[in-house]
Structure 1
């Protein structure tokens, strides 16, 4: 059998070690090879990529309105640059401290209560049989699909002063009735409860999906060692779910400066007396935009919210990387 002679490369064909052009060419060829290898997956992902590009990225051109004095006759690019003057709208407002405080505190409450409740419900679902689990999954997940407008009507059915279910129960028990929409203190508890009821089902299913990926061998070995259900939850399930919890927590921090407009606008019915505990940045800017028509200030606040969210996510991820590199998001 004839021996195959090795192919000899000339000096011109041989890449020079450390040559930037050679490294760049090799990187491009490698990327092209990966694209060809995964072309079917790329075709499947193409509709989602185009949707995200059109809905999320192309509108980002409008962010320059935050730094301009927009005039319709001149257009976006022809309007005058004003620097950071539009950002003064938020910080020089009379209620700036109140709306920023409410936004941050409510978001922290939503993240913490939502995480704890979703983990507990996911652990309970993991202990149920197949038929009961499907029923509870549907019941928990159904509110997630309801619009905030519809949830506002449901809330009004409970909180209406004359015909609301809550006042009827209070009257039956002998307690004084409340005009909920004209009070401030109850909304500190009503809004987190509604947010928990509406969103906990989605988070629960995410954590439950993470639990299904845990190998049953861990639980079988624990049973042989005499571990109880509670011990298996504490020593196996929760530690293995920690990376997922951290990732969702970091992503939740990305919206720490951006409130849930639908929740804080439709549920309290945008009533002035309860603004001290229901008003957030988004509802304040919306009212200012509808009354004053100041597009520049609204764009500036939206840009600021996105920037603060980016800084918060990067900072939280950096802290996680310093503590446990394997559990960081990136």
Structure 2
């Protein structure tokens, strides 16, 4: 009884905080936890019937691991896994470095009004859809009317068939992703920098530390816990690819598949051509399980070196 009474006492004590967290809790319950029951589709030959979604799941035939063979039994399995992993590794590393660097630069700008202008300009691309970004890229790389080929012609350089030449696309994809995402990520680190106790910098200046020494010995160590947590969360989605980036920006060009085909686009094309919902569910389950395992392993490694910066 004492435990029950203590439980209700804690509820009453934290009722304001719990009410604030209630909308997010409901959202996660309906859109993240309840749909997990649908994972059973990955092991079934799902066929929709007039009796409804859940009845269709019950009536569909069990096929075991058959749906997972869709990902691993083709010649493309290695390519899509390689592309997904390598791109995400570059996104995580370069995104972390550039986001922290941009946040530090913005924090060091003396004119705060000008800093707000720069921050807004960097943040704006995040709100653009990949469809719009894809058209922006096309306006630069179009063979006959693209700005890049048009400028190159001034210098006597032959135009390049950008959407038929896979040579440059790994760099293009990384640059476009960073252009769109770094501004948003830097805001998170900028907020953390604004929360650092200013007396630390004042004490460092009294001791004769210059700006670089202050950044190296105060700013970066204070950002280290946030950098670690965000990196661990990013590792959890290392087997997921941004569908819009790899489908819209590349204009689904078949000649670029060897360097732009990732798990998400491969599953989408397979689902569009075969209509097998079970295969796409199997791919999503595979990505989630691998991502969960990587987060647990990465968190274990972090705990070995710095327990305070681990997720749990």
Q: TM-score range by the shorter chain?
A: over 0.9
Q: Is the 8 A contact 2:46 2:276 kept in 1?
A: no
Distance 1:204 1:88, change over 3 A: same
For 2:104 and 2:214, the matched residues in 1 are separated by: 11
Correspondence for 1:205: 187
Correspondence for 2:52: none
Q: Which has the higher helix share?
A: 2
For 1:304 and 1:30, the matched residues in 2 are separated by: 42
Figure out how many residues of one structure are paired with residues of the other and give that number: 306
- Post-superposition CA distance 1:220-265 (Å, at most 9, x none): 0111111110110111111111111101110110110011111000
Q: CA deviation at 1:43?
A: 2.0
Q: CA deviation at 1:71?
A: 2.1
| 1:69 equivalent in alignment to 2:66 | no
Q: CA deviation at 1:47?
A: 2.0
- What SS does the corresponding residue of 1:185 show, helix, strand or coil? helix
Correspondence for 1:179: 161
For 1:239 and 1:48, the matched residues in 2 are separated by: 31
Correspondence for 1:48: 24
Written as runs of structure 1 = structure 2, the 5 A alignment for 1:74-223 is 75-128=56-109, 129-223=111-205
Moved more, 243-252 or 168-177: 168-177
RMSD between aligned residues: 1.2
Correspondence for 2:6: 30
For 1:30 and 1:304, the matched residues in 2 are separated by: 42
Q: CA deviation at 1:152?
A: 0.8
For 2:42 and 2:269, the matched residues in 1 are separated by: 18
For 2:60 and 2:6, the matched residues in 1 are separated by: 45
Rg (Cα) greater in structure: 1
For 2:308 and 2:126, the matched residues in 1 are separated by: 31
Moved more, 54-63 or 117-126: 54-63
Correspondence for 1:260: 242
- Post-superposition CA distance 1:256-300 (Å, at most 9, x none): 001111100000000100101011000000000000111111100
TM score, norm. by length of structure 1:
0.90
TM score, norm. by length of structure 2:
0.95
Unaligned runs of 5+ in 2: 50-54
For 1:43 and 1:109, the matched residues in 2 are separated by: 39
Q: Is the 8 A contact 2:98 2:182 kept in 1?
A: yes
- Post-superposition CA distance 1:81-125 (Å, at most 9, x none): 222221111010221100000000000011111111111111101
For 2:22 and 2:207, the matched residues in 1 are separated by: 50
Written as runs of structure 1 = structure 2, the 5 A alignment for 1:211-290 is 211-290=193-272
